[in-house]
Amino acid sequence: MLDIQLIRKEPGRVEKALASRGAEPKALEEILKLDEKWRKLRGEADALNAKRNELSRKTGELRKKIEKEKGKEPLYPVGMHEMADRIKAANTEADKLKVKIDSLLLTLPNLPHESVPVGKNAEENKVVRKWGEPRKPAFKAKEHWEIGEELGIIDFERGARMSGHRFAVLRGDGAKLERALINFMADFAVKRGYLEHITPHLVTAATMTGTGQLPKFEEELYRCERDGLYLIPTAEVTLANMHAGEQLKEEQLPLNYCGYTPCYRREAGAYGKDIKGIMRQHQFDKIELVKFARPEDSYVELEKLVKDAAAVLEALGLPYQVVELCTADLGFASAKTYDIEVWLAGQGKYREISSCSNCEDFQARRMNCRFWRKNKLEFPHTLNGSGLAVGRTMIAIIENCQQADGSVEIPAALVPYFGKKKIG
């Protein structure tokens, strides 16, 4: 959520920043109009309160003086009841306006950090570095879905039969590889200083609102109507909400959390994209990394986050590139994002496997998470990134490590978890 004080003081700057993301300014205009009315009502209520308090004080002094004289009736303030009614009416109207303002604020995306390149679409994202040489086998490389079916480790037909489009069954070594990657990534994150968590997969609307999934992405979420709960699209939701409504201490920061969860996404806007394979599923596994940091440290922590996520790929020997997103391609809650894209030999191109973002105080405001510093409460900055998306890492291993005989070699770092050196 954006700071209403910033909107009041620098509406032009906010409008320009939102425009750079392609966001409509209508909500901003409405917020400014409602806020002006709200401040006027609050001013009237405060003035009436001050007048009532002064009148009560003077009346109290007179009452004491008069009541000393026998036979005199007690003196009560004239018009106090009417004044109280006017104060109540002003406060009631102000509260209604505040609800409207807050609901509109929830629809506004975060403002891009000043270092984010301005751009109109993903084509204007900037590659900032590469690691490893893209693998180009001497034979005709196959895509993961072909290899998976030939080895009998991915069953698309039965997945679709049970659950519909964008579901698959991992069998035998496919299931084992998924499990090995989960354990490898979780241990990897813990060794790099992240505290591991197992969190709920079902959360309330308030929890989804805290990280920005609601109200913006209602159509992307799976909801359990009967219980009013949502299936999480990422462990970012639960890990970031660990301190919702809490007050931390400055010395606790930074906090580094990690967690494995299945993730559930309707992919409502992805019709026709990645139809084949397991690149874009409704249910997938992911290790998530989340940080809580002091505002002045958050961009240093972002660079660390990217390195931590990329280090998983380096350990597995998978080539990748880091891409800085332009303003128009930023996620709703993000102020700055780096995507990590892994090379896929079968597809012959880089594909996103992790997105590392600094949300600054955007989520903390929505969650009302604060920290004490010098007897003052401040909002921490929250950061998140995949470390990594497990299914896409499996795709990268299958495609990059495929052999001419149809088998797949397992990266050396993963062999202790998987138990053997190849599939097939």
Check if the beta carbon of residue 14 is closer than 8 Å to that of residue 88.
Answer: no
> Which of 355, 360, 366, 386 is flagged as catalytic?
355
Best CA proximity match to 141, nearest among 408, 393, 351: 408
Q: Is 56 one of the catalytic residues? A: no
For residues 324 and 115, the answer to whether their CB atoms sit within 8 Å is: no
DSSP of 236-303, one letter per residue? HHHHHGGGTT-EEEGGG-SEEEEEEEEEE---TT-TTSS-SSSSS-SEEEEEEEEEEE-GGGHHHHHH
**Alpha-carbon distance 276 to 266, whole Å?**
16
Residue 255: asked if its preceding bond is cis (omega within 30°), the reply is: no
Q: Which amino acid is at 239?
A: L
Say how far apart CA 45 and CA 39 lie, in whole Å. 10
| Of 21, 265, 366, 370, catalytic | 265
Question: Does 280 qualify as catalytic in the annotation?
Answer: yes
Q: Which class for 291: exposed (0-12), middle (13-18), buried (19 or more C-beta within 10 A)?
A: buried
- Assess whether 143 carries a catalytic annotation: no
d(CA 362, CA 380) in angstroms, rounded, equals: 9
Tell me whether the omega of the peptide bond preceding residue 74 falls within 30 degrees of 0, making it cis. Answer: no
Instruction: Tell me whether residue 8 is one of the annotated catalytic residues.
Output: no
Q: Which residues contact 93 (CB under 8 A, 6 or more apart)?
A: 41
Residues 6+ apart with CB under 8 A from 76: 59, 63
Tokens, residue 164: 């519909």
Catalytic residue among 178, 334, 392, 399: 392
Q: Which of 93, 267, 314, 352 is catalytic?
A: 352
Tell me whether residue 265 is one of the annotated catalytic residues: yes
How much helix, strand and coil, in percent to the nearest 5, is found in the chain?
45, 20, 35
Among 52, 179, 266, 280, the one annotated catalytic: 280
Region label for 228, one of left (φ > 0), alpha (ψ between -120 and 50) or beta (otherwise) = left
Tokens of 398: 């299958």
Q: What is the full DSSP assignment across 175-239?
A: HHHHHHHHHHHHHHHHHTTPEEE---SEE-HHHHHHHT-TTTTGGGSEEETTTTEEE-SSTHHHH
Q: What angle do CA 12, 13, 18 make, to 5 degrees?
A: 100
Q: So which residues are the catalytic ones? A: 265, 280, 352, 355, 392
